[in-house]
Amino acid sequence: MKIGIYGQFYHKNSEIYIQQLLETLDKKGAEVVIEKNFLELINLHKDIDKTYSHFSTFEELDNSYDLFFSIGGDGTILKTITYVRDLGIPIAGINTGRLGFLATIQKEEIKDSIELILDKKYYLSPRSLVTIETLSKTGEFGVLNFAMNEIAVSRRNTTSMITVHTSLNNEFLNSYWADGLIISTPTGSTGYSLSCGGPVIMPEAESMVLTPIAPHNLNARPLVIPDNLEIKLQISSREDSYLVSLDSRIHTLPNETTIVIKKAPFQINMVILKENSFLKTLRKKMLWGEDKRN
């Protein structure tokens, strides 16, 4: 079994859990390959007897990997997908951060959870993504032109609103007067979109949601749409440019740039233990429907 590992940070209180992960994988005879910078962080804080192979870019990965572990929080998983991309490698998120809505494996249960995963006592939860391109298609976003949570447009260097002229399949929808607009996947519906008043969407739903950020036109509300629609956005503002974020990656585009957003042609496979589910995570992490009468 060939397993990749990625992490962004090395917290002192997570040392024991990283050690448990590596020891469990070694006992199972797994071939382990660790992202280069994360491996250097591990070696910096702890002497490791074993020498591990490493990778630096997504180009060094292929479909020979059976599994990929993401160590951190949800932000680490969003960075992990930029390595895994369209290879279909299942991703298991180990939560050493705070909320960890995507990273459902708790650090305190890491040893038992890893053994369950290696024994294939899990199921895959396919997650849809969104892609972005400009009408000029000059490659402003490069190969990382996709997001698993959301793509958002927002104002830049000003307190003034922007106007987001929005069309669906070339039919005009609305001009949002707002701080910005979020185009969220079902996975991202529990993140930025939710904090701006958007609905929670179950991961398997074939939909996206358009959620305005602090809209001035008060009759503009979040809108759920089928994920086979093409979304076209044109921005006007007092500034000559605006911001586009793909999960945590930010780009600046001139106002005259029209962007097109649609469902990506590939999915990300998230590893979920059989004892877990989206609804259980929603109740546990979001305290969904929490009421003392329940």
Residue pLDDT, tens place only, 234-249: 999 888 999 999 998 9
Question: What CATH number is attached to the domain comprising 82?
Answer: 3.40.50.10330
115 and 134 share one domain: no
Question: What CATH number is attached to the domain comprising 252?
Answer: 2.60.200.30
With respect to residue 278, please indicate whether it lies within any of the assigned structural domains: no
Backbone φ and ψ for 255, nearest 5 degrees, come out as -55, -35
> pLDDT tens digits for 175-217?
999 999 999 999 999 999 999 999 999 999 999 999 999 999 8
Task: Check 62, 74, 119, 247 and give the catalytic one.
Answer: 74
Instruction: Report DSSP letters for 28-81, one per residue.
Output: TT-EEEEEHHHHHHHHHHS--SS--EEE-SGGG--TT--EEEEEESHHHHHHHH
Total domain count for the chain? Answer: 2
Banded pLDDT at 159 (limits 50, 70, 90): confident
* Residues of the binding site: 74-75, 79, 149-150, 179, 190-195, 214
User: Which residue is it, tokens 């960075």?
Assistant: 79
Which among 120, 149, 168 is the end of a domain?
120
Q: How far is CA 100 from CA 38, 95, 105, 245, 282, in A?
A: 19, 6, 9, 21, 11
**Residues of the domain holding 228:** 129-265
Per-residue pLDDT at 248: 85
With respect to residue 158, please indicate whether it lies within any of the assigned structural domains: yes
With respect to residue 293, please indicate whether it lies within any of the assigned structural domains: no
Backbone φ and ψ for 290, nearest 5 degrees, come out as -60, 120
* 74 in catalytic set: yes
Measured in whole angstroms, the distance separating CA 140 from the mean position of its chain's CA atoms is: 20
